[in-house]
Amino acid sequence: MVLNADAISQQSLPKHVAIIMDGNGRWAQARKRPRAYGHKKGVDSVRSAVQFCSKLGIESLTLFAFSSENWRRPEDEVSTLMELFLFVLSKEVKKLHKNNVKLNIIGDISRFPSSLQDKVHDAHALTCKNTGLQLNIAANYGGRWDIINAAQTLAEKVKVGELQVTDITEEALTNNMSMADQSPLDLLIRTGGDYRISNFLLWQAAYAELYFTETLWPDFNEEAFSEAIACYISRERRFGCTGEQIKQLLAESNTTS
């Protein structure tokens, strides 16, 4: 089943989807090819996921491209990933810009080669005024890093007397975390058959729906993405309330809108 934007109400779609794009290495190994081959094929899936989200009118798509733990991989795999990242940024950004996509990198890019950091800044500057899909690429990102970063920002403000200790609230932390300006995360997808978060959006995923699929990332096409969205739509999100309370709220909002 391929979802059609007109066939489902915009209201029921997730506003913010994040994906742990896992399984590139196994996809290549199954074809007796080097892991790098899987990473290259994975770029096609990224392109298709971006197009799919643009078409559906999803507000934000956040992709886990490189975790803060991925530095532990063999040196040649890390440099292949860096080169691929650089290549994609050079080659794809103009097209993203033409499609009104706003590109944002989340994570600590200070450890990246300076050529890559420059490309990231250029891509951000070029697309920052776009009003279409917000595409966040998580690079050298870790959920714990994000929380620590927000805590340090607030601690600095306490130190200079701008804030009180009691001002360190859930809201204050949220506002100082990556993607604070975007809709809360609705749906977190992991491809590749593992059931873990691997230090991705720990804070932001607090109330996200989790969707795990065996499909390896290079095979994650429009149809597979549609299934994830359909599964999300079929679930009832209660945010700690009872199902009855949610139905009541929905009935009230339908009569007032």
Neighbouring residues of 104: CB distance < 8 A, sequence distance ≥ 6? 124, 134, 135, 136, 137, 179
- Residue 37 touches which of Mg ion, ligand IPE, none (CB < 5 to 8 A by kind)? none
Q: For the residues of 222-235, what is the DSSP string, one character each?
A: HHHHHHHHHHHHHS
Instruction: Name the segment binding ligand IPE (CB under 6 A); options: 127-135, 193-201, 205-213, 234-242.
Output: 193-201
H-run or E-run covering 146 = helix 143-159
Alpha-carbon span 217 to 231, nearest angstrom: 18
Answer whether 64's CB lies under 8 Å from 81's CB. no
- Confirm whether 181 is a catalytic residue: no
Binds ligand IPE (CB under 6 A): choice among 36, 53, 65, 224: 65
Q: Which is nearer to ligand IPE, 23 or 143 (CB)?
A: 23
Q: Which of 192, 204, 220, 225 binds ligand IPE (CB under 6 A)?
A: 192
Of the residues 52, 64, 112, 220, which one makes contact with ligand IPE according to CB under 6 A: 64
Least distance in angstroms from the C-beta of 226 to ligand IPE? 21
Asked if residue 198 binds ligand IPE (CB under 6 A), the reply is yes
AA letter at 35: R
What is the distance in angstroms between the CA of the first residue and the CA of the last residue of the chain?
31
User: Is residue 190 involved in binding Mg ion (CB under 5 A)?
Assistant: no
Smallest separation (angstroms) from ligand IPE to the CB of 129:
28
Residue 21 is a binding residue for ligand IPE (CB under 6 A)? yes
- Contacts with 183 (C-beta within 8 Å, 6 or more apart), sequence order: 15, 16, 59, 60
- x/- track of binding to Mg ion for residues 11-50 (CB under 5 A): -----------x----------------------------
Q: Give 70's DSSP letter.
A: G
DSSP-derived secondary structure letter, 108: -
Decide whether 27 or 52 has the Cβ nearer to ligand IPE. Answer: 27
Q: Which stretch binds ligand IPE (CB under 6 A): 18-26, 85-93, 159-167, 245-253?
A: 18-26
The residue count for the chain: 257
Q: Which 85-114 residues touch Mg ion, going by CB under 5 A?
A: none
70 is catalytic: yes
Question: Are 237 and 10 a contacting pair, CB within 8 Å?
Answer: no
CA-to-CA distance for 185 and 203, rounded, in angstroms?
Answer: 10
Residues at the contact surface with Mg ion, assessed by CB under 5 A: 22
Footprint of ligand IPE (CB under 6 A):
20-26, 64-67, 70, 81, 192, 194, 196, 198
Q: Mind telling me the catalytic residues?
A: 22, 70
